[in-house]
Amino acid sequence: MISVSRFWVLSVFVSFVVVPVVVSDECSQDINAFLPLPYANMTHMVCKPVWNSYIVRFSQSKDNVVTIVLSATYTSGYVAMGFSKDGMMLNSSAMVGWITRKGTPVIKQYYAEGFKPSEVKHDKGELPLTGIPPFVTVNGAKIHLAYQLQYPSQLRTQPILLAFSSKYPEHHLLSVHEDKTTIHLDFSQGSSGSKSNSNSRTPSNNLHRSKTTHGVLGLLGWGIILPYGAIVARYFKHKDPLWYYLHVAFQFVGFIFAVATGFVGLSMYNRFSFHAPTHKGIGITAIVLSVLQVMAFFIRPDKDSKHRRLWNWYHHYVGKIALFFGALNVFLGIQLADAGSSWKIGYGFVLAAIILTSIILEVLKLKTPNKFSSDPAFPMDPVH
């Protein structure tokens, strides 16, 4: 009866956590509530997730008036969007916005005459601002910079610089940015006469799709499949050899998901210059540990071998470390992508389900010691 209960508990929680992942649409936020006209008019605006948490909304009228709204996760310091002829900082013009320590919104144009902070001049630049005042505000965890430019002819693909710093400007003097990137944005897509391009295969759309794919694969592999495979090895060894085959199946599928997650992540890094060194480093470490686990499976000593105890110890702890890094990286990825409440709630539910499943099964195990035992096939198995 206890054995049936354990399988029932595992089945119930797996069925609850393996659900369709709700992907937060970063462009679905209604900006009408906190932006004034004309910036709140989303009718003809194109929305592009472009870099980390940066989102650019833009439109271009028949008179070549370009309306731009830049949104990004914000805690302190400044956020900048620059226009450059060659994609470099020197001789570029940028709109920079921040909220002062006293809560005052500030948005100014800057011109980079050089690379030193003193050479980045405020209230200067080559951006053709219209008579509509630029606007900056914070709504929730995001800052929004809005401004209009008017060009003599249609603005097409343009190198754009994106940068930020967590340090507040002092007397309008910008500190050196903590990170930056260069993208190429096709503003002609936002023209009044252009066709709808919400599904166009632009680099920014591809980045958004890659981020979503990367997140879903990571959540399924590191967040669900691999942990439950470890649970099978720990609590169902009395069902020999069923536990072994289930465990190998879980971990093999989870390993495929983990490797696929890594490939998508490296692809984003190479194609889009997606800069996330901590997330990347932890991910590579977790995958390397997983590869070592798979290799260890094929060189497992016989039960009677004097090396079997050492192998068990290695397999147990390397597996635990890999799972820890994997779970940590899922959390970091959600934070880094600013994925929204649906991802956070979903992953919180997954973690809660795993913890609760483990607690219930651990109690059942203590009440009824296993009648059968077997050597571990992957992590989370007691060391003999």
What residues have CB less than 8 Å from 213, skipping those under 6 apart? 264
Q: Are residues 284 and 249 in the same domain?
A: yes
Average pLDDT over residues 272-292: 83
pTM above 0.85, yes or no: no
φ, ψ of residue 156 in degrees (nearest 5) = -110, -140
Cis omega (within 30 of 0) on the bond before 38? yes
Answer with the residue of higher pLDDT: 154 or 14.
154
Q: Are residues 231 and 349 in the same domain?
A: yes
Q: How many domains does the chain have?
A: 2
**What is the Cα–Cα distance from 14 to 231, expressed in whole angstroms?**
11
pLDDT tens digit sequence for 331-356: 888 877 656 667 778 888 888 998 99
Cα–chain center distance at 381? 31
Domain for residue 197, yes or no? no
Residue 355: inside a domain: yes
Residues 215 and 354 reside in one and the same domain: yes
For residue 223, what is the domain's CATH number?
A: 1.20.120.1770
Tell me if 224 sits within 8 A of 17, measured CB to CB: yes
- For tokens 């020999």, what's the residue? 240
- The pLDDT value recorded for residue 225 is 92
Residue 251 and residue 153 in one domain: no
CATH code assigned at 161: 2.60.40.1210
Amino acid 1: pLDDT? 46
Report the C-alpha gap between 65 and 220 in whole angstroms: 45
pLDDT given at position 337:
67
| Closest among 180, 200, 169 to 47, alpha carbons compared | 200
Report if residue 31 sits inside a domain: no
**Tens-digit pLDDT profile for residues 78-117:** 999 999 887 788 888 999 999 999 899 999 999 998 888 8
> Which amino acid, one-letter code, is at 68?
I
Q: Are residues 51 and 162 in the same domain?
A: yes
Contact status, residue 181 vs residue 84, Cβ threshold 8 Å: no
109 and 242 belong to one structural domain: no
213-236: burial string, b at 16+ Cβ within 10 Å, e else: bbbbbbbbbbbbbbbbbbbbbbbb
Domain boundary pick from 169, 191, 213? 191
Same domain (yes/no): 11, 85: no
In the listed set 163, 191, 219, which residue is the last one of a domain according to the structure? 191
The 10s digit of each residue's pLDDT in 9-44 is 455 444 444 433 333 456 777 777 788 888 877 667
| pLDDT score of 343 | 77
Q: Are residues 8 and 83 in the same domain?
A: no
Question: Is residue 226 domain-shared with residue 353, that is, in the same domain?
Answer: yes
Residue with the two structure tokens 């980390």: 52
Mean pLDDT of 236-241: 81
Instruction: Find the angle CA(172)-CA(174)-CA(179) to the nearest 5 degrees.
Output: 150
C-alpha to C-alpha distance for 68 and 187, rounded to whole angstroms: 10
Does residue 39 fall inside a structural domain? no
* 338 domain-assigned: yes
The Cα 253–Cα 274 span in angstroms is: 27
Helix H segments across 116-235? 203-220, 226-235
Greater model confidence, 178 or 78: 78
Phi, psi angle pair for 98, to nearest 5°: -160, 165
Instruction: Work out the mean pLDDT of the chain and round it to a whole number.
Output: 80
Residues 16 and 83 in one domain: no
Give me the pLDDT at residue 14, please. Answer: 46
Same domain, 13 and 78: no
In angstroms, how far is CA 158 from the centroid of its own chain?
Answer: 26
pLDDT for 384 equals: 40
Identity at 288, one-letter amino acid code: V
Question: What is the structure's pLDDT at 109?
Answer: 93
284-311 per-position pLDDT tens digit:
999 999 999 888 888 888 877 888 888 8
Tell me which residue range forms the domain holding 176.
45-191
| 141 domain residue, yes or no | yes
Looking at the structure, do residues 165 and 61 belong to the same domain, yes or no?
A: yes
Average pLDDT score over residue span 67-85: 91
pLDDT digits (tens, 9 = 90+) for 191-226: 654 444 444 444 555 666 777 888 899 999 998 999
Domain end among 160, 191, 222 = 191
372 has pLDDT over 50? no
Tell me if 30 is assigned to some domain: no
pLDDT of the residue at 208? 67
The answer to whether position 40 is within a domain reads: no
